[in-house]
Amino acid sequence: MKVSAFHLMPHRELPPDFERRYPSVWVTPPWWELADARRVGQYYNWTLDELLYAARAGFDGVCTNEHHQNAYGFMPSPNLMGSVLAKQTNGLDVAIVQMGMTLPTTSPPIRVAEEYGMLDCISGGRLVAGLPLGSPMDVNLAYGITPMEHRERYREAFELVLKAWQAKEIFAWNGKYFQLGQVNLWPRPVQEPHPPIWVPGSGSISTFDFATEHNVCYCFLSYAGARAATTMMDGYWDVVEKKGLERNPYRAGFLQLVAVSETDAQAEADYAKHVEYFYHKCLHVPPQWFAPPGNQDYRSLLAANRNPVRRAEDPKTLRYKYFVEKGYVIAGSPATVKERLTEEVIKRLHVGNLMVLVQIGSMPHELTLKNIDLFAREVLPGLREIWDDKGWENHWWPKSLRGSRQPAGATR
Amino acid sequence: MTEQARTLTVWNGRVPLRVHVAGAGPAVVFFHGPWGLTWGPFLDALAQQFTVYAPEHPGTTPGDPDAIQHVDHLWDLVLCYDELLEQLRLREVMLAGHSFGAMVACEVAALQPARVKRLALIDPIGLWRDDAPVVNWMLLGPAEMPAHVFHQPDGPAAQAMFAVPAEAEAGALARTRLTWAMGATGKFIWPIPDKGLKKRIHRITAPTLLLWGEHDRLVPRAYAREFADRLKDTRLEVVPGAGHAPHLEQPEATARAVQAFLKA
């Protein structure tokens, strides 16, 4: 089992009436009313410190991701964060999991191959290369990419990056979206033939096919917990089996919100308001923006219209107890968290690469360190060996880090 | 009057274009807007005096959503329509269009100006002003959409376009068709519907009618001035009691204005 600490780098101090006063946390939140650059500088530094703390505390990897014009996550360049993390974790057996630099918004996309090459060199071959499609809010709304071209542009960029990493000869790329006369990447990554690739998805069948055809780790980055993801992940494993691939749990990644305290009651006292902040404010986005016309292909669109997802409950009306009960957040004592993660998430979804959102919404720095510390000391050791008896190889993890990590033990 | 549909294949055999044809008299080609082709009282009225050809934009024809995958750019689309007019042997023609379709009509006219005798633009897009942005309807929620397209969001025209049939499969198809039509036309205008018409519009020689719904909430009437400033011979008429789709909301008044202009 590999367990990584994931960070969104949210605004931690949105006003109490944010979701009533503003139409969206994404694309349109007004910077000048809501943010202060010096304070935001503090958020970035907290984020880095929290991830470095997690690295030292014994997590197997640290994850950053890319969003644009988004008050719940504003690392428009995850690689700026990743390069600090790579440098500062040299000497630790920690993977730098970039979840990652968004392909369709990076032009030309060899920039992704170059920067990931740099990160793999700086970290000595510890990079996990996330190659995300990117959300419609980031790609279509903020970065102006035509919805109908989003996926096709992604697929071309993906092939180009893979080729740029591995080609022994200089080559010309005459694509539909990108034309480059002489591709000759400097630097190339340390890991051969290339760093392990993770592709985040949101459950569309076309991404299952893409992930299995390219033999990458499919990652479901969910904010709604394992129960809501069960049908979807079962669908993924069906595709894996139909293609004759092994049911290796390391073929799947999953993001879970986790909040650990001394007891279940103390967890509620510590985390309830931060969890509610996350679901009430950070997920405040007009639903139609998730699927602008043309973003889904015709068949997926028709399938979605034939089987409309039963209108999920409005999270703004729900409270901490509900989010915990339904498993959106796994929160409580170390024993509770370990039990639920093991049964509801890892074993039920058959996941080998777990990502844990350790900082949730408005959770302040000190409390985040507490969450990381308790998780690393009292939960993580009990998860590590879950898949060991089955003899699976984690082909989707840097080769030099595949053994079990010996925590260095962090001190606060 | 019943229109006949025929399919002509353009773009080296890759793009079938279904064209609805009705009426008799001089040829008028009508390009529909972002929500698909509605053959209704407006086109029926035009067909009383003209031969109306109404092509469906690639991807919007039921049963052939993937035709759009062969049309990459606006330039491809304009040449597809150039080929269509050739195949229809329309050497002298009048063009009309609504919204996105009016932009297409301008582009086709700018390609071969001598072919186009008169041009009728209904709430056209294709230009841009920072101080009066065109609303991106593709980002509106289903509850907001009718009031942005129509003056009367509960009126019969809005119902005809947006009401979802109660039967499940018909409802799913209707929703899909509407969304896909916006996606297939949106491919040529995302994220801002200024794709260079301003550089080409001077080539148009045809006298042009600009028709604007009095209450257009998507394309501000400031754009009437933008089109008028760039075209040689224009006339503006405002259709009362209509939003962005006057030919659907006020079909008789709109048809009268277009007929009078095209016959002049």
Q: Is B176 on the interface with A (CB under 8 A)?
A: yes
Angle of the A150-166 helix axis to the A110-122 helix axis, nearest 10:
50
The DSSP code sequence of A228-288 is HHHHHHHHHHHHHHHTT----GGGEEEEEEEEE-SSHHHHHHHHHHHHHHIIIIIT---GG
**Around Cβ A248, how many Cβ atoms within 10 Å?**
19
CB contact under 8 A, A147 and B138: yes
Cβ–Cβ < 8 Å for A134, A101: no
Report chain B's mean pLDDT, rounded to a whole number.
97
Shortest alpha-carbon distance between residue B75 and chain A (Å): 15
Mean pLDDT of B132-138: 98
Please work out, in degrees rounded to the nearest 5, the angle formed at the alpha carbon of residue B56 by the alpha carbons of B55 and B57.
115
For position A300, what pLDDT does the model report? Answer: 86
Task: State the pairing for strand pair B27-31/B93-98.
Answer: parallel
Q: What is the nearest CA distance from A148 to chain B, expressed in angstroms?
A: 6
Average pLDDT over residues B161-187: 96
CB pair distance less than 8 Å for A146 and B186:
yes
Query: Does the pLDDT value for residue A309 go beyond 90?
Result: no
Chain A with chain B: Cβ pairs closer than 8 A: 69
**Neighboring chain B residues of A289 at a CB cutoff of 8 Å:** 139
Cβ-based neighbours of A159, under 8 Å, separated by 6 or more? none
Q: Nearest-CA residue of chain A relative to B145?
A: A288
B57 touches chain A (CB under 8 A): no
Q: Which of A216, A285, A213 is nearest to A253 (CA)?
A: A216
User: CB neighbours of A158 closer than 8 A, spacing ≥ 6?
Assistant: A103, A131, A214
Asked if A15 is an interface residue toward chain B (Cβ–Cβ < 8 A), one would say no
A312: pLDDT strictly greater than 80: no
Residue type present at position A193 = P
Please judge whether B65 and A298 are an interchain contact, meaning their C-beta atoms are less than 8 angstroms apart. yes
The whole-number pLDDT of residue A407 equals 54
Closest chain A C-alpha to B11 CA, distance in angstroms: 17
Task: Note the pLDDT of residue B2.
Answer: 78
Choice among A144-148, A401-405, B39-43, B69-73 with the minimum mean pLDDT: A401-405
- Mean pLDDT of all residues in B181-190: 98
DSSP calls for A274-294: HHHHIIIIIT---GGGGS-TT
Measured between beta carbons, the chain B residues lying within 8 angstroms of A141 are 139, 191
Q: Does the pLDDT at position A411 exceed 50?
A: no
Average pLDDT, chain A: 95
Residue A25: which H helix or E strand, with range? Answer: none
What sign does the dihedral A294-A300-A306-A309 (CA atoms) show? negative
B172 and A305 in contact by Cβ < 8 A?
A: yes
Q: What's the Cα-to-Cα distance from B232 to each of B113, B119, B125, B201, rounded to whole Å?
A: 12, 12, 18, 10
Kindly provide the ipTM of the predicted complex, given to two decimals.
0.95
pLDDT of A206 reads 83
Pairing of strands A127-130, A197-201: parallel
**Percentage above 70 pLDDT, chain A:** 97
Residue among A102, A99, A161, A110 at smallest CA distance from A137: A102
- Structure confidence at residue A406 (pLDDT): 62
One-letter amino acid identity for B123?
A: D
pLDDT classification of A412: cutoffs 50, 70, 90: very low
Q: What is the pLDDT of residues A203-251, one digit of tens each?
A: 777 889 999 999 999 999 989 999 989 999 999 999 999 999 999 999 9
pLDDT at A310 over 80: no
For residues A9 and A75, what is the distance between their CA atoms, to the nearest angstrom? 7
Report the chain A residue with the minimal C-alpha distance to residue B142: A288
Contacts for A143 with CB less than 8 Å, ≥ 6 apart: A68, A104, A105, A134
**B87 at A interface, C-beta within 8 A:** no
Q: Using CB atoms, which residue from B139, B173, B183 is nearest to A148?
A: B183
Say how far apart CA A283 and CA A143 lie, in whole Å: 20
Give which of A54, A139, A15 is closest to A358, Cα–Cα.
A54
Is A301–B168 a contact, with Cβ atoms under 8 angstroms apart?
no
Nearest CA to CA, how far is A288 from chain B (Å)?
6
For residues A142-161, give the mean pLDDT: 97
A23 and chain B in contact, CB less than 8 A:
no
> Which residues in chain A touch residue B186, judged by CB atoms under 8 angstroms apart?
146-148, 292-294
B194 three-state secondary structure: coil
Q: Check CB contact under 8 Å for B186 and A298.
A: no
**Residue A277 above 50 pLDDT?**
yes
Residue A310 distance to chain B (closest CA, Å): 14
Q: What is the pLDDT of residue A202?
A: 80
Number of Cβ atoms within 10 Å of the Cβ of B2: 8
Separation CA A383–CA A60 (nearest Å)? 12
> What percentage of chain B has pLDDT greater than the value 90?
98
pLDDT digit string (tens) for B103-120? Answer: 999 999 999 999 999 999
State pTM to two decimals: 0.96
Specify the higher pLDDT residue, A256 or A308.
A256
Give the minimum alpha-carbon distance from B76 to chain A in angstroms, rounded to a whole number. Answer: 14
Query: What tokens were used for A396?
Result: 């989707």
Here the tokens at position B91 are 């050497």
**B221-224 — which CB contacts under 8 Å span 24+ positions?**
B222/B129, B222/B131, B222/B132, B223/B124, B223/B125, B223/B127, B223/B129, B223/B132, B223/B134
Residue A3 CB neighbour total at 10 angstroms: 26
**Strand pairing class (A171-174; A179-183):** antiparallel
How many helices (H) and strands (E) are present in chain A, helices listed first? 15, 11
